[in-house]
Chain A
Amino acid sequence: MPHDHHDHDHDHDHHHHGLSPSGHPYRQDDDAPLTYWQRMEIAVRELLIEKGVTTAAEVAAQIDLMDSRSPANGAAVVARAWTDPAFKERLLQNAGDASREMGFDIGPLHLIAVENTAETHNLIVCTLCSCYPRNLLGLPPDWYKTRAYRSRAVREPRAVLAEFGVELPDSTTIRVHDSTADMRYIVLPARPAGTEDLREAELAAWVTRDSMIGTGLPRAPQNATQGG
């Protein structure tokens, strides 16, 4: 099976019954009752392959590509911006081109990096659907796609941030950026105190996914014991 590599990120707390025709155990999602929408996915995929729009290998390769993208990509970009002022300037000017310099595939999208400072905190949302800087962060977390987050991020961002444990002084300006199909945002968080002696590769470890969405702050060596 060409897609055998995709099950590594699934929890294996579910007992697998039986084997697939190729002799491999089914994934946990493979042995639940077939739903209407799963039937539609199978039918659409097969029709697309028969019509020559795509191939099974291409679908599998696309899944592999998406699986390989994680917030570690974004963290590497952030860490470079923290340590290389010229890179940071290029990133804030054109985040797509700056990320491509580091070898990341950004696609045709317009990517904009917004910088958190002592005065300004940035928060990213897609009120229309779920646009997300997936090329740098992987697929969006479930909460990013919920109606609650999408509705409230633009209405009461301070309250939403508080739910995520981010309490900002009233003096901090909160800017909410609503993504579009062609325009994605990524937050460049402020470099945490206590990281002055760390090098680029070490710094990336402190950059969390949520800090690049704006619903979190980077972990900091000083409060690491609290789980940051």
Chain B
Amino acid sequence: MGGDEAGPVPKEGHDFALWEKRVDALMVLCSSKGHFTVDGLRRALEDMGEDAFEKHSYYERWIAAVNQNLIEGGVYTLEELATRMEVVAQRGTTYGEATHDRADHRNG
């Protein structure tokens, strides 16, 4: 990507959503615990191809890269992921409803 031609640098920013912060936290935690390296994440990101940069947001690409590295590392299987994503979808139609926060249930 470095050295390619491109248009003006867009300056608008956004506050990070909770789910984005969680992706960031999972990336840092799993990396610090040795489940993958930043290079492993990068490889997964680059394997997505250039159009992934147009189609998906930053943290969308990162959760995909984190997930791919965890499956490749044998932390969980593709089936486990698919099953869990289906369970999550059944919980509700918003992120708030679908987040099954155990601490919430324990405390209140």
Q: Which residues of A contact B (CB under 8 A)?
A: 1-3, 6-7, 9-11, 20-23, 26-35, 37-49, 51, 53-54, 56-59, 62-63, 66-67, 125, 127-131, 139, 141-143, 145-155, 160, 163-164, 178, 181-182
The answer on a CB contact under 8 Å between A56 and B26 is no
The answer on a CB contact under 8 Å between B29 and A181 is no
Known: A42-B100, A48-B70. 5 other contacts (CB 8 A): A37-B60, A40-B85, A54-B33, A62-B25, A63-B21
The answer on a CB contact under 8 Å between A39 and B89 is yes
The answer on a CB contact under 8 Å between B26 and A39 is no
Chain B interface size range: 35 or more
Q: Which residues of B contact A (CB under 8 A)?
A: 1-26, 28-30, 33, 35, 37-39, 41-42, 45-46, 53, 56-60, 63-64, 66-67, 70, 75-76, 80-81, 84-85, 87-89, 92-105, 107-108
Q: Return chain A residues, CB-CB under 8 Å to B108.
A: 21-23
Q: Return chain B residues, CB-CB under 8 Å to A59.
A: 22, 25-26, 29
Q: How far is the CB of A131 from chain B (nearest CB, A)?
A: 8
The answer on a CB contact under 8 Å between A32 and B94 is yes
Tell me the bound Cα distance from A22 to B66 in angstroms.
Answer: 29
Partner of A150, one of B2, B10, B42, B94: B2
User: Lowest 5 A-B CB distances belong to which pairs?
Assistant: A127-B2, A30-B96, A29-B17, A181-B38, A62-B25
